[in-house]
Structure 1
Amino acid sequence: MSRFRSYLYSAVRIIESYKGETPLAVFLKNYFSENKKYGARDRRQIAALCYYYFRIGKAAESLSVSDKIILGTFLCENEPSEFLETVKPEWNDQIENVLKKKLALVKTAFSIDTIFLFKKELSAGINMDAFSTSFLIQPDLFIRIRPKVRLGVLSKLEKSKLPYRLLDDDCVALPNSTKIEDYFTLDKEVVIQDLNSQRVLNFFKPQHATHKTPAIPAWDCCAASGGKSILLYDIFNQRIDLTISDIRPSIILNLHHRFAKAGIKSYKYFIGDLASPKFTETLPVDQQDNLKPAIVICDVPCTGSGTWSRTPEQLVFFTKEKISAYSLKQKQIVTNVIPYLQKDSALVYITCSVFKEENEEVVAFIKDKFQLELVQQELLQGYAHKADTMFVAIFRKR
């Protein structure tokens, strides 16, 4: 058996054993740890084949697993390869064609319209053709340049010879495989953060805070990796009185380390389950009277459907019922958060979802139940930029 057919056989075996309980990246890492016969080159090729299979979702279900892998490879790659020359040489000859021509070649077995099956659940403003096509394209890696180091970072980029695109003043797009830590000090010089994740707080950018500006109390209530906290800290020129919370103690521990690297030295934190109807009863005593934010960042847990070009296995294993489950959780979270808003405070509701039940319907819930003023609502389309799609709504309490 040739090396490339062995790759195909290994990818089929992995796909048939994978049931979607863990992210594909984690499953592959564990699989290769248990099967040490594969070298680095072998692992990269086999992992790529697995991702190509999932990138076409549930389309072409009449094909075998191996044929779907080959089809995915043809649609996702743009340069001739020894693998495709071995398993499907006639497609290898056509690999450099534009996607439209490639789709015409495989139209009897595959339709791009069948990659994503949840069209009726989508938020308004999604271009279905562009969105479906995005699943066949590896997203870029995005970094945000921290304040006061822009020229130094750009100089390092030029010297690195990395292929990059400068988007906005401080956003850089790079190939997904770039090892940023080889070139920059993470969180001190640059933050790894998706293009649209960098844009969700643009509403606040005209503030121009100085060192004399009173610190603005802000609460990042579902802090997770802390990227939005660091972004807000930079937008307000460090003039924020920050509180972070999350349900997971491990997240808070990780944030301590990350904030230290980012130069954020003064902040408050607590562990709390905002999705619990009894959240207020479990809120630490020292927070009950002191939690009076002028800004609340509410980046809620969601389906992550706007990021599925990075995790295409979701196209196969996701079920529609999960949308409503997340929407209920989101409504409970905002129900627990909103009572802490002060007069003229801002609530920033964020998801990385493309589903209206998590986006527009939660916005309607907030407006109807709490009578907050909707200042801005935006679907940040990522598929045109090899980025994630996100949703943001800004409310004011009057």
Structure 2
Amino acid sequence: MKITKKEASIPIFANMTRWENYIIAAEKIITGYNGSLPLHHYLKTFFKAHPHMGSRDRKRVQQLVYHFFRLGNWQQNLPLKERILLGTFLCEQGPDELLTFFKPEWDVTASFEDKLAALGLQWSVFPFAKHLSAGIDAEQFTRSFLQQPKLFLRARPGKLAAILRLLEGNYVYEQIGANTIALPNGTKTELIIPDKSWYEVQDLSSQETGLRFHPKAGEHWWDCCAASGGKSILLHDLQPAIHLFASDVRASILENLRKRFAEAGLKNYSSKVLDLTSPALRASMPRTQFSGIILDAPCSGSGTWGRTPESITFFKEAQISEYAALQKQIARNVVPFLAPGGTLIYITCSVFREENEEAVAFLEQVCGLKIEESGIVSGYQRNADTMFVAVARREG
């Protein structure tokens, strides 16, 4: 998706306040964006085409755009400017000069419920509630879209104390559990912690899926949809003496994995580009059995929409069944490589039943695995992503 010449021409009116110019810029971005690529990529391209905008201007316009998309299709009958202001009103929790300029009667410090009451509105932003997995509170989940999740770090073995010393007294942070640190989103960790091998940026719920990994020295483990390798590194940190094989269908993603592994100092592994839907998969595999398989399946990503709120607007309901069919196809092809007594960890960052509970039923009823645990890893009440994890075993 390219920025057109028309989109690149945003007039800055000298007779207008910066707040009015911010709204004009946000409107241009919103009307020019069609969801064909992640919003943050579009914004980078857009701002590159507008070098006259300073860093403060870019940050504020970006906030307005994200506030708008956090509303999904809710109140879409309102004019664009009014929806931008409404999104900002609901997302901001402290004094805001832009809102004071446009809507001085709005109390930004009021509670969410009082804000809605003052406007005479009822909250309803999520169009796919009937598909939600068991145990998810639809209202609380959708309200979580209004706030960007936190940035979570996982301290690598033996590095927590050193990281905390760098943070103590200078930065706002929270330690969670034994190895997790929560920071405000947007924190420039590379400027705080000079050695990238000390930590991994990994969401809290993603880290907690690793509580189901129990690798033993000498075992062969396959991270079959490895992406950039966050869970592979977690697995390796739990047991460095495993034989790790990582695969993904995208060569560019595996190249990112190799760079990330190099930064983490992880060398004892092998990797390969594999299409897990291919009928010729077995001929491409380096071995026929693994003690453990991590199937972090391609999915809707609906549990991460607080980070990518544009998805609420552009995601289509039909995609749920498409992802569910893909997950079953991959599972059917991957399970035969699980050794007797071996464990398959099925993971999604989805909140949809079709991708979660129904996938587990498929693993049990069609693939013949015994389900030992399954359920939502809730993040929406903790400023984190929401995920799903199941532990399945092949009886030997």
The answer on whether the counterparts of 2:222 and 2:292 sit within 8 Å (CA) in structure 1 is yes
Deviation at 1:203, TM superposition (A): 2.2
Write the distance in 1 (CA, Å) between the matches of 2:384 and 2:305: 10
How far 1:103 sits from its partner (Å)? 1.6
Cα distance, 1:37 vs. partner?
A: 1.8
Match of 1:129, SS state, is helix
Task: Tell me which of 125, 130, 146 is aligned to 2:135.
Answer: 125
The corresponding residue for 2:175 is 166
Partners of 2:133 and 2:195 lie apart in 1 by 34
Q: Partner of 1:137 in structure 2?
A: 147
Equivalent residue for 2:96, pick from 76, 81, 86: 81
Structure 1 stretch displaced more, 384-393 or 257-266: 257-266
Q: Corresponding residue for 2:209?
A: 200
Letter in 2 for 1:188: S
Give the ranges of 4+ consecutive aligned residues of structure 1 lying more than 6 Å apart after TM superposition.
Answer: none
- Residues in 1 aligned to 2:196 and 2:220: alpha-carbon distance in whole angstroms: 22
Q: SS in structure 1 opposite 2:244?
A: strand
1:117-162 Cα offsets, whole Å, 9 max, x none, are: 1010111010112101101112100000111112111211215x21
Report if aligned partners of 2:153, 2:200 keep a CA contact under 8 Å in 1: yes
**Corresponding position of 1:346:** 343
Classify the secondary structure of the residue corresponding to 1:345: strand
Task: Name 2:199's counterpart in structure 1.
Answer: 190
Residue of structure 1 in register with 2:269 after alignment: 267
The structural deviation recorded for 1:279 is 2.8
Secondary structure, in 3 states, of the residue corresponding to 2:76? coil
Give 3-state SS (helix, strand or coil) of 1:301's partner.
coil
3-state DSSP class of the match of 1:361? helix
Partner of 1:243: 245
Please name the residue that 1:329 is paired with.
Answer: 326
Given that 2:212 and 2:345 are in contact with CA atoms closer than 8 Å, whether structure 1 keeps it comes out as no
8 Å Cα contact 1:382-1:388 kept in structure 2: yes
- Deviation for aligned residue 1:99: 1.4
TM-score, normalisation: structure 2: 0.93
TM value normalised by structure 1: 0.93
1:257 to 244, 248, 259: 259
Equivalent residues of 2:190, 2:196 under 8 A apart: no
In structure 1, C-alpha distance between the alignment counterparts of 2:362 and 2:222, rounded to whole Å: 21
Matching of residue 16 in structure 1 with residue 31 in structure 2 = yes
- Counterpart in the other structure of 2:4: none
Q: Does 1:29 align with 2:38?
A: no
Q: Tell me what 1:95 maps to.
A: 108
1:55 aligns with 2:70: yes
Superposed CA offset, 1:219-247 (max 9, x none): 000010100000011112x1211001011
What is the rounded CA distance, in whole Å, between the counterparts of 1:56 and 1:103 in structure 2? 13
Query: How far has the Cα of 1:345 moved from its partner?
Result: 0.6
| Structure 1 residues 186 and 352: alpha-carbon distance in aligned structure 2, compared to 1, 3 A threshold | farther
- The alpha-carbon deviation at position 216 of structure 1 amounts to 1.7
Residues 378, 393 of structure 1: 8 Å contact kept: yes
Corresponding residue number in structure 2 for 1:355: 352
For 2:163, the equivalent position in structure 1 comes to 153
Tell me if 1:387 matches 2:380: no
- Quote the residue 2:13 is aligned against: none
Deviation, 1:186, is 5.8
Q: Equivalents in 2 of 1:54, 1:130: separation in Å?
A: 18
**Structure 1 residues 336-394: Cα deviation after superposition (integer angstroms, max 9, x where no partner):** 11011101110000000000000011110110112111011020111110000000001
Q: Deviations over 1:58-81 (max 9, x none)?
A: 111121111000001010001112
Q: CA deviation at 1:276?
A: 3.0
Whether contact under 8 Å (1:187, 1:258) holds in the other structure is no
Assess if the C-alpha contact under 8 Å between 2:282 and 2:288 holds in 1: no
1:89 is paired with a residue whose SS is coil
* Shift of residue 252, structure 1, vs aligned partner: 1.7
Report the equivalent of 1:233. Answer: 236
Helix, strand or coil for the counterpart of 1:144? strand
Specify the alignment match of 1:217 in structure 2: 220
Per-residue CA deviations over 1:91-126 (Å, capped at 9, x if unaligned) read 1xx11112121121123xx422x2111010111010
Q: Matched residues in 2 for 1:139 and 1:367: separation?
A: 33
Deviation at 1:280, TM superposition (A): 2.9
Q: Distance in 2 between matches of 1:196 and 1:35?
A: 37
Note the alpha carbon deviations across 1:16-67, whole angstroms, 9 max, x for none. 1111111111111111111222111111011100000011111111211110
Paired letter, 2:299: C
Distance between the aligned counterparts of 2:270 and 2:385, measured in 1?
A: 30
